[in-house]
Amino acid sequence: MTALPPERRVSGPAARRALTAATTTPRFEGRIVPKTFVRKAAQFLARDGIVLYDNPDAFLICAFKHGNAPCEPEPGATAPRQYACQHCCGNTVRTDTHAHQARQRADEIDQLAAASPEKIAKCLRGKAK
């Protein structure tokens, strides 16, 4: 068995669910959008399957499952609250590229902390973890 290139590996609590969803979900080929699109889209998102949301600001993909979401989406929500993303979430999926980018950002924050006053540096170092 050959190893996958670094940009193709995934990890995280929801990695298996995300891979299963990505390989079993029908491929979208594009089409003319009818008047019933909104209703059908809502039904699709409310199904038991998984919808993947890329969150480049958090360096992760969310394999959204409402019951696992500490971002506290509204009751019945079919999408995560992107700006309330938490790294301890059970819906988290990361590629090795995401992990590398997160490490680079943490290093940048550490460098900024080194040149900051003590109280600000302490706060920054906490964010870099």
- Specify the pLDDT at position 53: 86
Question: For 33-56, how does the pLDDT look when each residue is reduced to its tens digit (9 = 90+)?
Answer: 677 777 777 676 666 567 788 888
- Specify the pLDDT at position 109: 92
Closest CA to 51 of 10, 97, 11, 93: 93
Query: What percentage of the chain carries pLDDT values higher than 90?
Result: 16
Rank 10-14, 75-79, 112-116 by mean pLDDT and report only the highest.
112-116
What are the residue ranges spanned by the domains of the chain? 8-25+34-95
Residue 120: φ, ψ to 5°: -70, -40
The residues that bridge with 52 in the sheet, in sequence order, are 63
Whether the predicted pLDDT of 116 surpasses 70: yes
Which pLDDT band holds residue 1 (cuts at 50, 70, 90)?
very low
Residue 126: φ, ψ to 5°: -65, -35
Q: 45 with 51: CB under 8 angstroms?
A: yes
Distance CA 16, CA 43 (A): 24
pLDDT: which is higher, 47 or 20: 20
> How many other C-beta atoms are found inside a 10 Å radius of the C-beta of residue 38?
10
* All residues at 6 or more sequence positions from 9 whose CB lies less than 8 Å from its CB, including other chains: 95, 96
pLDDT: which is higher, 101 or 30: 101
pTM exceeds 0.95: no
Average pLDDT over residues 14-31: 77
